[in-house]
């Protein structure tokens, strides 16, 4: 399966831009988040440190000069139960243990033994109090007797508000970053459309050339596309010129071969029909050579569809041929009617169009009795042409014969077949189809179907 | 009947001209377009056979020039390419029929015959003005269904008169359309031919098919039947 990214530059650029944006905003978000968390944690540590100092400040001496703490402290959060700030002071040597009023009814378990002058921060998941940030601080207190007694002061603050704060920050941060990223993506998408617009313009102009509304790229394109469009234009000109040269070469060849053949034919005719073998052979061979030459030249000249050629209006060509056929078959006084859309176009060579129409219409004039009808319409699928007459029609047996592909013209008896074969060859070169049927006028209905976008070498229904 | 034959290839033109003469036509030959135009202007041509690919002036240009000078005689074009674009172009320029090279002389003669008749309103190869019936294909004449033996020139005169049946044909017309350019144009000869024709066709003088209009010429008076 073809990757969708291979199919669209726009998609590729959008994907790249989205990846860059996502990476940028993701990393930005992470760094901001980390910085904020660090700052919040530092603030919390400072707060705990201050609380330790507050405890020390509040400490008083008992009768022996040992440290003791009052029931209530100045910071009200130590006094309110479940305030989230807890303290404990222990002096194990003297069996002293104090805890703040806020921890009433709970067993505190965050106290650790640390040496004097040492402090230890810890995130601690307490069973009783939930997540805490703790600070244990060791001091030495000298009593009146001059004993140095070690104490540990421990404070703990619930992490809950801290975590909530971080969550709130994150929410805000990522909402904003996401919003900005989305906005940037939209702007990027618009920018891409704007940037790629000249490519669309090229595509549209190429389509116009294909459908024959134009024969070159004429728009004013950005510098990056100029060399491409200039190359396409020169390719088109080159293709047209080459086709013309090819055609001229072929018709010159035809002309130079046909006249000597005509002389030979005349020679054979002049000898008279005396029935000698030489004369018979001469006539026969000249006629064979002629048919082979005509056939091969016509086949070679039937170029097939060229995308680079302006579509030709069909109706005027039909009218021209009809008028000339009226002249050739003047005694028939053929009544012809056209039912062709005015803007019907044939995408191909004018010679091919004239050849197909000429051969089919010549048959109609030749074999029709008094009426001929030519219809044509185009749609998105392609072109459909009908040439109908009121003659006797083609015998069923001959129909298949006529449409056999690669059937050599020199094997044909003169008649409707030759013209049909020529037309069929040309239509095939365009990847089209020629069908024979019965017309409601009574005679043959020759239908030509040429699909849009088909080209030479397409598989053929009669292949 | 006077035919203008314009073809640059000598090997094709000469035998063609010979054959046409043998068929009883008077032939003016030209090897290029300019010469063809000159002959077309100069002589009373009944039909032109013109090759499309001519030196100095193409067949198409020649036909256009002739038509512009109101030369209305039918023209048969010879084309080597045989493609419809050429045919249509030729016919649009003023030609009346086409023949693709190489062709059989018989085919050419049949087309020439048909074009000549058509140009004067006869659609059939047999000119039937009962009781005179002239077959242009076999060049034979029957009177009351009996064959009439005519010399080549007597036939030519009768054919011309019958083709233009009902019209006045001057002696000059007859001389011009029947004789080669280098013949002595003595109108007395025509009178002799007409007299002989009358005797051979209608010895009893019961039909009097050829009428003399003093100072103007002749008229074939029997009605066309086809």
| Closest-approach residue (CA) in chain A for B84 | A355
Which residues in A have their CB inside 8 Å of a CB on B? 251, 254-255, 258-259, 261-267, 269-270, 286, 290, 294, 298, 301, 320-321, 323-324, 327-328, 330-331, 350-351, 354-355, 357-359
β-bridge partners, A156:
A86, A134
Asked, for residue B34, whether it belongs to a domain, the answer is: yes
Would you call A263 and B19 a contact, using CB atoms and an 8 Å cutoff? no
Would you call A263 and B85 a contact, using CB atoms and an 8 Å cutoff? no
Which residue shows structure tokens 């007459």? A389
Query: B202 and B152 in one domain?
Result: yes
Would you call B11 and A263 a contact, using CB atoms and an 8 Å cutoff? yes
CB A412 within 8 A of CB A421: yes
Boundary residue ending a domain (B61, B91, B119): B119
ipTM of the predicted structure? 0.74
Asked, for residue B225, whether it belongs to a domain, the answer is: no
Q: Is A126 helix (H, G, I), strand (E, B) or coil?
A: strand
Asked, for residue B81, whether it belongs to a domain, the answer is: yes
Which residue shows structure tokens 């002071």? A89
Packed helices B187-201 and B171-178: angle between N→C axes, nearest 10 degrees: 90
Query: B72 and B50 in one domain?
Result: yes
**B109 vs A contacts (CB less than 8 Å):** none
Would you call B11 and A324 a contact, using CB atoms and an 8 Å cutoff? no
Give the CATH number, domain containing residue B73.
Answer: 3.40.50.2300
Give the CATH number, domain containing residue B214.
Answer: 1.10.10.10
Asked, for residue B175, whether it belongs to a domain, the answer is: yes
Q: Is the pLDDT of residue B73 over 70?
A: yes
Give the minimum alpha-carbon distance from B108 to chain A in angstroms, rounded to a whole number.
Answer: 11
Would you call A254 and B106 a contact, using CB atoms and an 8 Å cutoff? no
CB atoms within 10 A of CB A448: 24
CB A208 within 8 A of CB A44: no
Query: B152 and B87 in one domain?
Result: no
Would you call B105 and A331 a contact, using CB atoms and an 8 Å cutoff? no
Pick the residue of A244, A262, A330, A418 with the most B CBs within 10 A to test the interface with B by mutation: A262
CB A303 within 8 A of CB A348: yes
Q: What pLDDT score does A372 carry? A: 92
B80 interfaces chain A, CB cutoff of 8 Å:
yes
**A323 vs B contacts (CB less than 8 Å):** 92
Q: What pLDDT score does A379 carry? A: 77
Query: B90 and B169 in one domain?
Result: no
CB atoms within 10 A of CB B199: 10
B102 interfaces chain A, CB cutoff of 8 Å:
yes
**B88 vs A contacts (CB less than 8 Å):** 320-321, 324, 354, 358
Instruction: Give me the long-range contacts of B95-99 (CB less than 8 A, separation at least 24).
Output: B95/B50, B95/B63, B96/A327, B96/A328, B96/A330, B97/A327, B97/A328, B98/A328
Whether the upstream peptide bond of residue A420 has omega within 30° of 0, thus cis, is no
Query: B40 and B93 in one domain?
Result: yes
Q: What pLDDT score does A411 carry? A: 44
Asked, for residue B157, whether it belongs to a domain, the answer is: yes
CB atoms within 10 A of CB A186: 10
Q: What pLDDT score does B226 carry? A: 58
B107 interfaces chain A, CB cutoff of 8 Å:
no
B13 interfaces chain A, CB cutoff of 8 Å:
no
| Closest-approach residue (CA) in chain A for B10 | A263
Packed helices A277-301 and A223-271: angle between N→C axes, nearest 10 degrees: 170
Q: What pLDDT score does A405 carry? A: 45
**B105 vs A contacts (CB less than 8 Å):** 266, 269-270
Q: What pLDDT score does A27 carry? A: 92
The Cα–Cα gap between A373 and A370 comes to 10
Which residue shows structure tokens 């419809």? B84
Query: B54 and B143 in one domain?
Result: no
Would you call B103 and A258 a contact, using CB atoms and an 8 Å cutoff? no
| Closest-approach residue (CA) in chain A for B98 | A328
Would you call A359 and B84 a contact, using CB atoms and an 8 Å cutoff? yes
Query: B110 and B66 in one domain?
Result: yes
Stretches in chain A below the pLDDT threshold 50: 405-414, 454-463
Where in the sequence is the domain holding B75, given as residue range(s)? 2-119
CB A391 within 8 A of CB A373: no
Q: What pLDDT score does A272 carry? A: 56
Strands A148-158 and A130-142: antiparallel
Residue B142, CB half-sphere, CA atoms under 13 Å: how many?
12
The predicted model gives B118-136 an average pLDDT of 84
pLDDT in tens, B138-158: 888 988 888 888 888 888 889
The Cα–Cα gap between A96 and A111 comes to 13
Residue (of A144, A161, A195) closest to A17 by Cα position: A195
Q: Which of B9, B16, B84 sits opposite A259 (nearest CB)?
A: B9
pTM (2 d.p.): 0.58
The Cα–Cα gap between B215 and A213 comes to 66
Q: What pLDDT score does A176 carry? A: 92
The Cα–Cα gap between A330 and A323 comes to 10
Q: What pLDDT score does A270 carry? A: 67
Boundary residue ending a domain (B119, B144, B166): B119
Give the minimum alpha-carbon distance from B206 to chain A in angstroms, rounded to a whole number.
Answer: 34
Q: Which of B83, B98, B100 sits opposite A351 (nearest CB)?
A: B83
**B100 vs A contacts (CB less than 8 Å):** 294
CB B151 within 8 A of CB B24: no
Q: Which of residues 129-188 of B touch A (CB under 8 A)?
A: none
Would you call A350 and B91 a contact, using CB atoms and an 8 Å cutoff? no
The Cα–Cα gap between A340 and A345 comes to 10
Asked, for residue B212, whether it belongs to a domain, the answer is: yes
CB atoms within 10 A of CB A167: 10
The Cα–Cα gap between A188 and B98 comes to 68
B91 interfaces chain A, CB cutoff of 8 Å:
yes
Boundary residue ending a domain (B119, B135, B161): B119
* The B168-169 sheet, strands edge to edge: B168-169, B217-220, B210-213
pLDDT in tens, B16-67: 999 999 888 889 999 999 999 999 998 889 999 999 888 888 999 999 999 9
Q: What pLDDT score does A219 carry? A: 72
Query: B203 and B160 in one domain?
Result: yes
Query: B105 and B6 in one domain?
Result: yes
Give the minimum alpha-carbon distance from B102 to chain A in angstroms, rounded to a whole number.
Answer: 4
Would you call B92 and A324 a contact, using CB atoms and an 8 Å cutoff? yes
Domains contained in chain B, number: 2
Asked, for residue B226, whether it belongs to a domain, the answer is: no
Query: B39 and B59 in one domain?
Result: yes
Query: B25 and B111 in one domain?
Result: yes
Cα–Cα distances (Å) from A331 to A168, A308, A365, A390, B94, in that order, read 100, 42, 11, 16, 17
Query: B214 and B151 in one domain?
Result: yes
Would you call A263 and B9 a contact, using CB atoms and an 8 Å cutoff? yes
């Amino acid at each position: 399966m073809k990757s969708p990214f291979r199919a669209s530059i726009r998609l590729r650029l959008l994907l790249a831009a989205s990846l860059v944006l996502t990476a940028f905003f993701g990393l930005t978000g992470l760094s901001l988040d980390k910085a904020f968390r660090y700052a919040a944690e530092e603030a919390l540590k400072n707060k705990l440190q201050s609380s330790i100092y507050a405890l020390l400040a509040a400490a008083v001496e008992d009768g022996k000069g040992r440290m003791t703490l009052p029931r209530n402290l100045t910071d009200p959060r130590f006094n309110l139960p479940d305030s989230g700030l807890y303290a404990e002071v222990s002096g194990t040597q003297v069996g002293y243990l104090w805890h703040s009023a806020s921890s009433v009814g709970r067993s505190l378990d965050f106290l650790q033994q640390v040496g004097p002058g040492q402090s230890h921060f810890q995130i601690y998941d307490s069973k009783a109090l939930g997540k805490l940030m703790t600070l244990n601080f060791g001091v030495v207190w000298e009593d009146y007797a001059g004993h140095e007694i070690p104490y540990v002061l421990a404070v703990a603050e619930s992490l809950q508000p801290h975590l909530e704060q971080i969550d709130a920050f994150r929410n805000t941060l990522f909402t904003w970053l996401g919003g900005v990223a989305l906005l940037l993506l939209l702007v990027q998408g618009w920018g891409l459309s704007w940037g790629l617009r000249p490519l669309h313009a090229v595509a549209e102009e190429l389509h116009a050339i294909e459908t024959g509304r134009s024969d070159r790229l004429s728009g004013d394109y950005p510098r990056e596309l100029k060399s491409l469009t200039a190359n396409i234009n020169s390719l088109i000109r080159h293709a047209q010129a080459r086709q013309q040269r090819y055609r001229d070469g072929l018709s010159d060849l035809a002309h130079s071969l046909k006249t000597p053949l005509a002389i030979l034919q005349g020679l054979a005719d002049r000898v008279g029909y005396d029935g000698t073998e030489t004369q018979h052979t001469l006539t026969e061979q000249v006629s064979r050579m002629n048919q082979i030459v005509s056939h091969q030249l016509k086949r070679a000249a039937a170029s097939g569809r060229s995308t680079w050629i302006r579509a030709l209006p069909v109706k005027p060509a039909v009218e021209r041929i009809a008028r000339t056929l009226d002249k050739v078959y003047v005694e028939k006084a053929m009544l012809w009617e056209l039912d062709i859309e005015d803007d019907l176009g044939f995408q191909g060579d004018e010679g091919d169009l004239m050849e197909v129409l000429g051969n089919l219409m010549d048959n109609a004039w030749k074999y029709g009795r008094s009426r001929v009808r030519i219809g044509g319409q185009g749609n998105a699928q392609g072109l459909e042409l009908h040439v109908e007459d009121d003659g006797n029609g083609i015998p069923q047996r001959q129909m298949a014969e006529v449409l056999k592909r690669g059937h050599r013209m020199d094997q044909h008896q003169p008649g409707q077949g030759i013209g049909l074969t020529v037309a069929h060859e040309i239509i095939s070169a365009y990847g089209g189809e020629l069908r024979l049927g019965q017309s409601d006028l009574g005679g043959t209905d020759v239908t030509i179907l040429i699909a849009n976008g088909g080209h030479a070498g397409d598989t053929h229904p009669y292949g | 009947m006077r035919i203008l034959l314009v073809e640059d290839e000598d090997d094709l033109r000469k035998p063609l001209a010979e054959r046409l003469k043998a068929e009883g036509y008077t032939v003016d030959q030209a090897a290029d377009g300019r010469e063809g135009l000159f002959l077309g202007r100069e002589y009373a041509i009944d039909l032109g056979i013109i090759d499309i690919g001519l030196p100095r002036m193409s067949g198409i240009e020649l036909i256009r020039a002739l038509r512009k000078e109101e030369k209305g005689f039918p023209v048969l074009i010879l084309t080597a390419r045989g493609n419809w674009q050429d045919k249509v172009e030729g016919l649009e320029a003023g030609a009346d029929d086409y023949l693709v090279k190489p062709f059989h002389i018989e085919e050419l003669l049949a087309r020439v015959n048909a074009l000549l008749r058509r140009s004067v309103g006869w659609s059939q190869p047999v000119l039937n003005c009962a009781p005179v019936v002239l077959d242009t294909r076999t060049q034979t004449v029957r009177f009351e269904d009996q064959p009439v033996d005519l010399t080549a020139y007597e036939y030519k005169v009768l054919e011309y008169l019958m083709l233009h049946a009902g019209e006045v044909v001057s002696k000059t017309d007859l001389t011009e359309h029947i004789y080669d350019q280098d013949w002595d144009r003595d109108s007395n000869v025509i009178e002799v031919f007409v007299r002989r024709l009358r005797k051979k066709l209608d010895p009893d003088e019961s039909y009097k098919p050829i009428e003399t209009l003093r100072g103007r010429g002749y008229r074939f008076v029997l009605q066309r039947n086809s």
